[in-house]
Amino acid sequence: MKTDNYLCIDIGGTNIKYAILNNAGNIIQNDKVKSIHDKKGFLNQIDKIITQFKDVKGIAFCAPGKVYDNTIYFGGSLPFLDGINFKKRYNELKVPIAVINDGKASVLAENWLGSLKDLDNCAAITLGTGLGGGIIVNGRLLSGVHAQAGEVSFMKLTDQKDVNKIAGLQYSAVQMIKAINKDTPNDSEDGPGAFKLINENNSDILKIFNQFCYGVATVILNIQTVVDLEKYAIGGGISAQPILIDGINNAYKRLIENNPIISKMLTKPEIVSAKFKNNANLFGALYNLLLTENHETL
């Protein structure tokens, strides 16, 4: 017997997070597993989750990479997902299934029930393994001709010829935390431990942190020059740290203050913490499925 709840699966380079939600956006239960980085093992993980909750009303996925017509292309930090279509893979379940890019899921979540609620011009930036991005302009989710709008990880922020010098690699929250924890007793992926060190104002630690904030602020400034948004919600697990939002806002102010033309031409947008922190993609995946079920778009 089918329930009235939905299974939402957030595919990430570090973890696969999943939750049962109702159509009002309330989490009934949730969990996560460490992502296996090979195709067979990874798909087995997804199969086990689906089997555990196969009696749901619908299944909502979000994933890294470009997503077009429910098919994942490239797959971001999980390139073996290239060409996977979860709607077709689980077609025999006879329930609605929808797949969306994780950055777009994040902005949908915040625009539905979060820090960007009901705004017509806004964006979400998710800080994790890479940089996720989702943009809403004039009340519509910005997808682009090739379904790749908002892929801020691929921004080039330097004039270096190295093709790997892109925003998602240079300003990865995971890599920032590892760099801070490198010469400490902390586990390399210990986010709270890293922020404890940041709050202690150690100059070497602050240099790493401020460089990270500067990179995120630069990404926001570059987006702002093109689409002029009202507010940006910063998501990902580390967005729960107040010093992060302060750091990004301060870095943005320094960026525009150093150039009088920019400071006069570009009004600073509001930069806030995302309401759903590390769970935004689950809510956004659900909202995308609900819109699809009702034959609506944002």
The DSSP secondary-structure symbol of 269 reads P
Q: What is the pLDDT of residue 194?
A: 95
Give domain status of residue 107, yes or no. Answer: no
Residue 1 lies in a domain: no
Q: What is the pLDDT of residue 162?
A: 79
> How do residues 145-154 score in pLDDT, each as one tens digit?
999 999 999 9
Total count of domains within the chain: 2
Both 219 and 171 in one domain: the answer is yes
Q: For residues 125 and 236, state if they share a domain.
A: yes
> What's the whole-model pTM score?
0.92
Confidence of residue 227 (pLDDT cuts 50, 70, 90): very high
Say yes or no to pLDDT of 298 above 90: no
Predicted confidence (pLDDT) at residue 43 exceeds the cutoff of 90? yes
Residues 138 and 80 in one domain: no
DSSP symbols for 91-147: GGG-S-EEEEEHHHHHHHHHHHHSTTTT-SSEEEEEESSSEEEEEEETTEE---TTS
Within-domain flag for 109: no
Do residues 74 and 155 both lie within one domain? no
Please name every residue paired with 99 in a beta bridge, in sequence order, or none if there are none: 61
Mean pLDDT value of segment 6-33: 95
161 band by pLDDT with thresholds 50, 70 and 90: confident
What CATH number does residue 97 fall under? 3.30.420.40
Does residue 288 surpass a pLDDT of 70? Answer: yes
Same domain as 73, residue 182: no
Cα–Cα–Cα angle for 223, 229, 232, rounded to 5 degrees:
80
Task: Tell me, yes or no, whether 108 lies in a domain.
Answer: no
Domain match, 204 and 287 both: no
CB of 80 closer than 8 Å to CB of 39? yes
Q: Quote the pLDDT of residue 88.
A: 96
Q: Do 23 and 97 fall within a single domain?
A: yes
Task: Report if residue 223 sits inside a domain.
Answer: yes
Tens digit of each residue's pLDDT (9 = 90 or more) over 60-119: 999 999 999 999 999 888 999 999 999 999 999 999 999 999 999 999 999 999 999 999
pLDDT tens for each residue of 201-213: 999 999 999 999 9
Domain that holds residue 163: 115-274
State residue 159's pLDDT score: 73
Say whether both 183 and 52 belong to one domain: no
